[in-house]
Structure 1
Amino acid sequence: MTENQQLLPNAGVVPRLAAMIYDGLLLFALLCLATLLAVLVTGQIDTDIPEASSKVMHKADPLLSGWGFQLYLLGVVMGFYSLFWRKNGQTLGMQAWRIQLQNAEGGKPGWGQCVVRCLAAIVSIGAAGLGYWWIWLDKENRSWHDRLSGTTVVRLPKRGRARG
């Protein structure tokens, strides 16, 4: 770990939640595209439906209404986070709020850490958000999924603006 990485403070709840809101907007668009792709692949779009029958509810294809589809969407979300974290330790929302995910050595997390972190975050949220609120009780501002994955989220310093 370099001296600079040791001096970075761990991020608190507010910047993490703000980054999650930013990322949530991106994820909404990504999940819409992923759903459209699934609908196209399963042939669920029928443009030749008569006007009268378009008001009738049609049973959705089992591929789009069961656990398989939910797992597909979960994979899209986990892929989104894991790819960004693995690439540079930040999602776009994290970049906007100057926070970064690091492993114990101050570097980018590994693939295993990213997957464990995603799965543990589901538990953190599923327990009424306690895994996130735990940050306020933790001396190091670490959530449950930070601890379980061996990662931490740090606050990056402001960059100096170039004068022109």
Structure 2
Amino acid sequence: MSTFDFTSFPRAGFIRRFASWVYDLLLAIAVYMVAGAIGFLIFAVFAYFGLVDMNGHQHLIDAQRSSLLYSTLIYSWNIGWVSYFFIFFWAKSGQTLGMKAWRLRVQNQDGTLISKSTGLKRLLPTLLGLGNLWLFIDWKNKLSLQDKLTNTEVVLLTLEANRGRL
């Protein structure tokens, strides 16, 4: 396996980032749904053992929807797993599955992989992908809002550099 100088790859433009975002959005929805199913199963087990107050509701979903606490816990669980999906792949290989498909890699500006804490910091300014619209403001440097705020970049890899596993 050959090594690459990841500082030599050009920064990715909006179209590839958007295509990757669409791919990853579908994966994020799937992660959200699986996390939701598991989270609701845990909620049901807690209800079975009397750890959840049904507040007079017969159905578990009604008890969850009527409680700000229960809803917050379940939706936070789901969002947490989606966040973990991105942070894990960014820190492990610099690529989510969508980024791999479009030959993109997120990295520090020195070409090294980002840390999990940097991945976490990238999430909020990403704004569900809207941070990439910053590329139209900073067209010359091809840096998104999340790139600028975390000193990272998204680069376009060659076919050879993109080979390998996630």
Q: Fold conserved (TM > 0.5)?
A: yes
**Which residue of structure 1 aligns with residue 136 of structure 2?**
136
Aligned counterparts of 1:40 and 1:57: Cα–Cα separation in 2: 10
Answering whether residue 72 of structure 2 is matched by residue 67 of structure 1, we say: yes
CA deviations over 1:95-124 (Å, ceiling 9, x no partner):
0000100112201001111000012212x7
The residue correspondences of 1:44-123 to structure 2 (distance < 5 A) are: 59-61=62-64, 62=67, 66-122=71-127
The residue correspondences of 1:12-27 to structure 2 (distance < 5 A) are: 12-27=13-28
Q: Pick closer, same or farther for the CA change 1:92–1:12 going to 2, 3 Å.
A: same
AA of the residue aligned to 1:112: S
Number of equivalenced pairs: 145
CA deviations over 1:23-58 (Å, ceiling 9, x no partner):
112122211111111111111899xxxxxxxxx996
Answering whether residue 72 of structure 2 is matched by residue 32 of structure 1, we say: no
AA of the residue aligned to 2:104: I
Q: Pick closer, same or farther for the CA change 1:43–1:107 going to 2, 3 Å.
A: same
How far has the Cα of 1:15 moved from its partner? Answer: 0.8
Moved more, 61-70 or 26-35: 61-70
Kept in 2, the 8 Å contact 1:12–1:136? The answer is: no
Q: Pick closer, same or farther for the CA change 1:83–1:63 going to 2, 3 Å.
A: farther
How far has the Cα of 1:3 moved from its partner? Answer: 8.2
Kept in 2, the 8 Å contact 1:38–1:64? The answer is: no
Q: Pick closer, same or farther for the CA change 1:14–1:65 going to 2, 3 Å.
A: farther
CA deviations over 1:64-99 (Å, ceiling 9, x no partner):
862222222221111000000011000000000001
In structure 2, list runs of 5 or more residues that go unmatched: 49-58, 162-166
Kept in 1, the 8 Å contact 2:39–2:78? The answer is: no
Aligned counterparts of 2:61 and 2:37: Cα–Cα separation in 1: 17
In structure 1, list runs of 5 or more residues that go unmatched: 47-55
* RMSD after superposition: 2.8
How far has the Cα of 1:158 moved from its partner? Answer: 2.6
Kept in 2, the 8 Å contact 1:34–1:73? The answer is: yes
**Which residue of structure 1 aligns with residue 56 of structure 2?**
none
